[in-house]
């Protein structure tokens, strides 16, 4: 049962003044255009079309909020690195995203989506180097891991962990992820649950209750029973 299965679209924010005022905790998702960011959000929510998946780089230009629980949100940030986007759109991205990431008190962590076949592009490093001084945690999802062999996956994961270690001590982590194969979901949930202070729903036991009918094993003396007096 996905932890974020109750996620629903809340609002699109084009100006900082319109940020939700009821927010308590937010997790932002950032990534290079077409790195699989929207697909990752959909997969974590157990939904198909919660976040818009576009084949056109730079299509998402605003902050898209998705409600997870009362006062808790996923925030889908505009993709970066879209070379063909008009200059005014790039300026809008920088003007909105910079102040949000640096000044939003409710932001508890940043998930950076990287294509596992091409991790740590120059733009990825620029975003991370800019965000790290905030002191907030960063979790790197290496998306599209299904495109790699197991040996390649192990190699890439090892290399990314080595680079993260070079940053020094800090709340940094990484993992492999595949929206297509639905792998890495529980690992990501474990990280985000801590950030958002959420607990995974407990599966209900739908089996019939044990009523102690004929043939039921009776507890031995001293194990779960007491003689009345």
Establish if 152 belongs to a structural domain: yes
The average pLDDT across 49-62 equals 59
The per-residue pLDDT for 220 is: 43
Establish if 17 belongs to a structural domain: yes
Q: E-assigned strands of the chain? A: 8-13, 25-31, 63-69, 72-76, 107-115, 138-143, 172-176
Number of domains the chain is built from: 1
Establish if 212 belongs to a structural domain: no
Strand pairing report for 63-69 and 8-13: antiparallel
The average pLDDT across 135-162 equals 97
Query: What is the domain extent for residue 93?
Result: 8-196
Question: Which of 115, 136, 128 minimizes the C-alpha distance to 164?
Answer: 128
Task: Name residues whose C-beta falls within 8 Å of residue 90's C-beta, 6 or more positions apart in sequence.
Answer: 82
Q: What is the pTM of this model?
A: 0.82
Per-residue pLDDT tens for 154-203? 999 999 999 999 998 889 999 999 999 999 999 999 999 999 999 876 55
The per-residue pLDDT for 202 is: 58
Alpha-helical segments (H) within 104-205:
122-131, 150-165, 185-196
Distance of CA 180 to the CA centre of its chain: 16
- What CATH number is associated with residue 136? 3.40.50.300
Proportion of the chain above pLDDT 90, given as a percent: 59
User: What distance in Å separates the CA atoms of residue 209 and residue 204, rounded to the nearest whole number?
Assistant: 12
The per-residue pLDDT for 136 is: 96
| 3-state SS, residue 94 | helix
Per-residue pLDDT tens for 66-103? 999 999 999 999 888 755 556 666 676 677 888 899 99
Establish if 224 belongs to a structural domain: no
The average pLDDT across 137-159 equals 98
Establish if 2 belongs to a structural domain: no
Establish if 153 belongs to a structural domain: yes
User: What distance in Å separates the CA atoms of residue 16 and residue 97, rounded to the nearest whole number?
Assistant: 9
Establish if 57 belongs to a structural domain: yes
Least confident stretch, 14-18, 110-114, 188-192: 14-18
Establish if 100 belongs to a structural domain: yes
């Amino acid at each position: 049962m996905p932890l974020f299965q109750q996620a629903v679209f809340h609002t699109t924010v084009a100006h900082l003044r319109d940020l939700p005022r009821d927010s308590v905790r937010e997790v932002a998702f950032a990534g290079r255009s077409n790195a699989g960011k929207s697909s990752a959000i959909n997969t974590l929510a157990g939904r198909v079309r919660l976040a818009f998946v576009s084949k056109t780089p730079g299509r998402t230009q605003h902050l898209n909020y998705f409600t997870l629980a009362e006062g808790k949100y996923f925030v889908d940030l505009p993709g970066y690195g879209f070379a063909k986007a008009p200059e005014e759109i790039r300026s809008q991205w920088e003007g909105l995203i910079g102040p949000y990431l640096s000044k939003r008190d409710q932001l508890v962590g940043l998930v950076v989506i990287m294509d596992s076949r091409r991790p740590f592009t120059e733009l990825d490093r620029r975003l991370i180097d800019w965000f790290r001084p905030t002191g907030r945690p960063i979790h790197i999802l290496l998306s599209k891991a299904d495109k790699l062999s197991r040996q390649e996956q192990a190699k890439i994961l090892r290399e990314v962990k080595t680079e993260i270690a070079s940053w020094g001590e800090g709340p940094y982590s990484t993992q492999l992820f595949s929206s297509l194969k639905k792998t890495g979901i529980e690992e990501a949930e474990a990280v985000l649950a801590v950030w958002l202070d959420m607990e995974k729903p407990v599966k209900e036991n739908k089996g019939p209750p044990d009523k102690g009918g004929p043939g039921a094993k009776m507890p031995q003396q001293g194990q779960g029973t007491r003689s009345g007096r």
